[in-house]
Every structure is written in structure tokens, then in C-alpha cells.
A and B are shown apart, each in its own frame.
Chain A
Amino acid sequence: MISVKGLVRTFDEGRPGAVTVLQGVDLEVQKGEFVAIVGRSGSGKSTLLQVLGGLDTAYQGEVTVDGATITGSSDAALSRYRNEVVGFVFQSFHLVPGLTSAQNVALPALFRPGGAAAGTVARATEALARVGLEEKLSRLPGQLSGGERQRVAIARALFSQPKVLLCDEPTGNLDAITAEEIVALFTGLNRAGLTIVAVTHEDRLRAAASRVLSLSKGKLS
């Protein structure tokens, strides 16, 4: 499902103080796998995830997801890729304030070439139901607990029925009980066939993964 070959990412390249955080990373993730990537802060875990998600393009190497090489793709192609192939879950939830849960979940639909199709609301409702929030469709982010916000973020990531879920410290801002619920949610999604790559410090999430990789000194092991 995911193939990364010789990935090198240097920040401030060519300037004094340039830092190379990924130094020739190779990674293969099979379809339906749940991979946890661990490592110290600043080790480049999030950078790797952003590269996989097509958010960071200033790298060397080759990244292929679902049979398509995203390296060197145009902005429009990468945008379509982020819209259709991958879903993101962030540590800080990153819900858009002022939008209700349903609107946040349906946000990807607005950026489709054909726009929000008929049934978008029903699909947003269904995605929220999958994370147990069907009762809170009209709530604004400020009216939700941390765990609920993360569930909305997960529902948004699932809205487009992505092939890969990319999670960046998804339980980092949650209490233990809520984190456990989120881990259980991921486990269920993975059992349903979704490929998940999660960057984490969380033991529970690590334990739930089918494979744990460690990123250290710019290399995966």
C-alpha cells in the first residue's frame, strides 16, 4: 500500500544550520496494516507522516501510495490525493472553529472537483455515527470535549473513505480513558481493513499496532 524509498528531508537546505531529519528512510506498509512509528521528539516522525500525506513535498526519494507515485506530483494532483486517498488525524484535532461537527466532517466534500454531492449530509452523519457522535452533529468544536473533538476529526478523516489513515499523535492531548476509547476506535477501523500509520508516544496505541517502527537519527528500524 505504501512504499518509501531513500527518503531524505533536510530543513533549511543550503543554509547554515540546515538539519537533515530523515536520512534515507525506506518503508513498506502492506494493505490493512496498522503501523506505529515511535521516536523521540524532533526525530522526524511528523515530517515522515506529512511526506506520506503529500503535505510536505521538499524531499528527495520516492513515495508511492496505493500504486501511484506521489513524488513530483502537481499541486492539483496532490490535493486530489489528500482528498481521496489519505485521511489525517492530528494531535491538536484541527477542527475549523465556527463550523459544526457535521460541517467539519463534510469539509473535504467542498474541495472535490464536482463539489459536495447529494447525500453529503447523510455521509457526514454516517461518519459521525461511526465514531459515536451522531447526537452532536450541530455542535461547534468549542462545545465538545477533547475526546469528542478527536472523534469528529477521525470522522472527517474517514469521510472520503480513504485507503490510508495517517495519525499524528492522535491521543497526545487526551486523558487516559478517552485515549483508550480512541485506540479502540482505531483498532476497529483497522480490523475493518483500513491501513493505518500512526506516529505516537502512546503505549496503548503502540500495543494496538500490528507493527512498531522506531525512527532514530533519521533512520527507521
Chain B
Amino acid sequence: MTLHALATLVRLSLSRDRKGAASSVFGVSVGVFALVFFVSLGLGVGALVRERIFPVDANLVEVVPPQLSLGPLGAGKLDDAMVLRLSAIPGVAHAFRKMSVRVPAVSIYDGDFFGRRLRMGVEVLAVGVEKELVEQDVQMGDFSDPGPGKPVPAVLSTRLLDVYNTSFARARGLPQLSPSMLVGFSFPVEFNRSFVAATPPGPVSAEKAQVVGVSSRGLLAGLTVPLETARRLNQACGADAQTYSAVALLAKDPSRVPELVSAVRLMGLRVDDAERSLAENIGAAVAMTTSAFALLSVLICVVSAFNIFHALSASVRARERDLGVMRAVGASRRNIFSLVFAEAALLGLLGGALGTLLARLAAFAVDRAVIAALPDFPFLPESFFRAPWWLALLGLAVGLAASLAGAWLPARRASGVDPARALAGQGG
């Protein structure tokens, strides 16, 4: 029997019991709907946590000095020698040095701010990093120390911009900003000056910072500047310009991160993994919740498989005589099995497609409703759902699998119909 013949027979069979077919499709679609909806929700929330709230770089390990100093021996200090040792750990692709600007700083802004008048003063934190750590997000210049008297290139944090747009800008009636709008914007920064803390002896260094990019690797609440700029500013203010406040180790592969962490701890250093742990814990909670809902959805699919089983069993019983006729005109057992199985496959695929489509529509509706109902808050995503291409395939595959599982026994029963008995007439 050819595929065309099979398709013809399936169409004819299903058109005879449209109500039963619709019921089976609906049953499958409910399970697939739940599965696709909850998995895409889990993926979306997981991505939100990983990529926006705690954008942890899977390959990066942040090494910081130990809380307990070993005194004059200098052990545990993040100096150049230690950076060399860290770079030599197997599995490390690169060690990015970071040096905090170790004096307080303030920014006093009084002027035009993207079309609005802005007058404010804020305390500013700054950290110097190696160019390679952020250069992929730098959109202006080459992110190197320009020397005294020239604007300091600064990278802002993606999350800081998000917080500004969703909270600060609204509260102060300021415009929403995008990364590209910010590039080139400059503002004054005075180092070795503070509104709240005592400042070390030394001159105030009045600089101008210029935004050159926005990066997820930028300091959350401050400026990320070139490493040599931080060193220069510390030196100018008489602060430590030799040791580093942190070193970010880039692993050759995420799977080698645990190995790096162990090696770093053996060297008497600490790994700042608070954010990573938090992200992992929240990610695990999201994954577990998603798994629970996915399991529930699979159970619904199992129920729909039973529904298909009952529907097809009844259909086969009702069609025994027709199946006998088919056998009489040349259908083999395999043909009959294929026919019932193909009917189930079509129902499963239709149910899978319908369930997937409904899940996407529901996700769209939920997004719209949530965005309309919730106030704007930091990290509010455009969508709480993620629907990668494979999720649609998963929906179809689960619908198909549930349907075929339910069709197995009815198909076997149909192929085993005794044509002689099914067609037994009133003859002797």
C-alpha cells in the first residue's frame, strides 16, 4: 500500500467519525498545551534569571583575596606574581586583572541630560579591568587609559541601565535610554572626594568619564574603566596601585570551572561565587518547578493516550465489518495495522500542533496581561516565555508518541480481525 493510498484511507476513516477524531485531538492537545506552556515558561524564567538578573558568565571565575591576611608574608595577595600563578592553573584560558579605584569618588551633574534638565550628585564606585574583558561590548574607542586630563572611557552595567530605565527614570521623569544612546555621553567625576565618607589625604582628581559601552561584565553599581586608569588614579591619590582587588579567570571550558575553583582555594584565595550560587539556586528552583509541571503535562498526555486507546478501540469494533471488507479486497494485516496506526499518528500530530499553537497563544496572552497589569520594575522582560524551535518539535513528538502508544493495541486488534467472521452473512 502506498503512502497516497494510506492517506486516502485515513482521510476516509476519520471523516466518518469526526466527533471521535475531534475528541482525540482535543485530548492530546490538552497534554501538549500544558507541556509546551510550562516548559517555555520555565525556559523563559530561567533565561531571565541567568541572563538578566544574575548574568553569570559560565566560563568566568571571580577570584578575590582571602578575608584573613597572612601579614608580611604576603600570601593570598593578588599581585602580579599571584596573577601569573593563577594563569598557570591548568584549564585557565586567561586571567583578567581587576583593580578597584581605592578612593571615593562623586559625580556632580548639572546640565542637559538627553533633553531634560538634570542636577544631581552621586557617590561613584569604579573598577579598572583589562580591555579584553569588556572589549566585545565597547562601541567607542579602544578602552585604554587616555592619560590625565582626557575623558576616561567607562563601561556601564547592563543591569544598572535596566534599573535606571525601570525605576529611576520613571521616578525622576527622565528619558528611557538604550545602550547606543548612552555611548559618547560624558559626565564629570571627582576622585578622592565623597559626600559621606572621610577621604584619604591627597589631591582631588577631577576627571571626565565618557560612556563607551554597556556590558553585562560591567560593575553593577559603578563605572568600569581601563585597568591602567584605575592604577593611575590610585597612584595619584596615594592608594595601593600594585595589588588587584580581583582576578577573573576565564576557563577554557565551563566543565573545568569546578577544577579551577578547587585550585584557587588551595592557593589560599577565595572565589566570589555568591551571585553564581544565587543564580544556580534560583535556576534549580525554576528547573524543579518546570519539571514538576512538565511531569504533570506528561501525565495528561498519558491520560490522552488512554483516551486514544478507548476511542480507537471503539472505532475498530464499530468498523470490524469494513475492515473485513478491506481484507476481502486485498488488504493485508500489515495494511490494516498501518491504517489504524496512521489514523492515530495524524490525530497525534494534529493534537500536538494544536496544543503547541494554543500554548504559544496563551503565552502571548499571559505576557500581554502581565505587562499590562504589573508596574514596570527592573528586569521585567518583554516575555516570560522562551519557545526555541525544538519545543515545537517536542510538542509534536509528544502528541505523536502519546497517540501511537494509545493506538498500539487497537491497531493490533484491527489487524487481527478475522475477515471470515467479520463478513459472515446469512449464508449457510
Contact = CB atoms under 8 A, between A and B. Distances in A.
Which label, helix, strand, loop or mixed, suits the secondary structure of the B interface? helix
B69 interface: no
Interface stretch (A37-45, A61-69, A142-150): A37-45
B12 A82 contact: no
B1 A110 contact: yes
A80 B331 CA distance: 8
B330 interface: yes
A219 B297 CA distance: 63
Contacts of A160: 330
Contact of B322 (A50, A96, A113, A114): A96
B185 to A, nearest CB: 71
Contact of A110 (B8, B327, B419, B424): B8
A79 B420 contact: no
B286 to A, nearest CB: 50
A96 B325 contact: yes
Given A53-B328, A94-B321, A41 B4 contact: no
B422 to A, nearest CB: 9
Given A110-B9, A115-B2, A82 B330 contact: yes
A55 B328 contact: yes
A40 B428 CA distance: 6
A132 interface: no
A32 to B, nearest CB: 23
Choose among A92, A111, A172 the residue with the greatest number of B CB atoms under 10 Å from its CB.
A111
A101 interface: no
Contacts of A39: 428
Given A55-B419, A55-B423, A92-B426, A116 B5 contact: yes
B425 A91 contact: yes
B236 to A, nearest CB: 87
A26 B419 CA distance: 24
A47 B428 CA distance: 8
Interface string A119-142: 000000000000000000000000
Contact of B16 (A47, A84, A98): A98
A107 B2 contact: no
B333 interface: yes
Contact of A169 (B12, B332, B333, B425): B425
Q: Which of A42, A55, A84 has most B Cβ within 10 Å?
A: A55
Given A94-B328, A116-B5, A116-B8, 8 more contacts: A79-B330, A79-B332, A94-B423, A96-B322, A111-B1, A112-B1, A115-B2, A215-B428
Shortest beta-carbon contacts, A-B, top 10: A83-B330, A115-B2, A79-B332, A111-B330, A110-B5, A46-B427, A41-B428, A91-B425, A108-B329, A169-B427
Interface of B: 1-2, 4-5, 8-9, 12, 15-16, 321-322, 324-335, 419-420, 423-428
9 contacts: A46-B425, A82-B327, A88-B329, A96-B325, A98-B16, A107-B329, A111-B329, A115-B2, A116-B2
